[in-house]
Amino acid sequence: MPDGGRITIETANKWIDEAGARQHDMPPGQYLSLCVSDTGTGMSADLLAKVFEPFFTTKPLGEGTGLGLSMVYGFARQSGGQVRIYSAVGEGTTVCLYLPRHYGEAGEDRRRQTACRGRTGRPGRDGADRRRRALGAHAGHRGP
């Protein structure tokens, strides 16, 4: 938003049925959606087709890595979810992340994290490893 504007963050529980699942290329079921909308420049269809490509950026040299959205895409897919972008030039953009809902006990996750820490050291500490995993997920990525 080069001239300022408004950002809206929304969360919701969503049931994705068979038709929605086919449309979004994800399994049907219960998801948490996290949508971030802005009133910025918006994007053309041509631009939208490229935004998930690693290192694709329209920012000047040295200002953008082009990794922002490609990492969001990798994270969503590795988590069994999806990311969708809705945009109109001159009006703004909405990016929605769909993540599968967790039905287990909260403690289960903590136990799994502790076991993981015991085996491999502190998870998520190695930035290079995180980048490798995020980029690896893009080998067969598709646009929105």
Residue placing its CB nearer to ligand ATP in the complex, 30 or 44: 44
37 interacts with ligand ATP by CB under 6 A:
no
The residue range among 17-25, 68-76, 111-119, 125-133 that interacts with ligand ATP, by the rule CB under 6 A, is: 68-76
Of 19 and 128, which CB lies nearer to ligand ATP in the complex structure?
128
Single residue of 26, 43, 83, 134 touching ligand ATP by CB under 6 A:
43
Is 21 an interacting residue with respect to ligand ATP (CB under 6 A)? no
The two structure tokens encoding residue 1: 């938003």
What region does 15 belong to: left with phi over 0, alpha with psi -120 to 50, or beta? beta
Asked whether position 75 contacts ligand ATP by CB under 6 A, the answer is no
Helical segments of the chain, H only: 18-24, 45-48, 68-78, 106-120, 127-136
Closest distance of CB 72 from Mg ion, Å: 9
Q: What are phi and psi of 9, to 5 degrees?
A: -115, 125
Chain centroid, CA 42 distance in Å: 18
Which residues contact Mg ion by CB under 5 A? 68
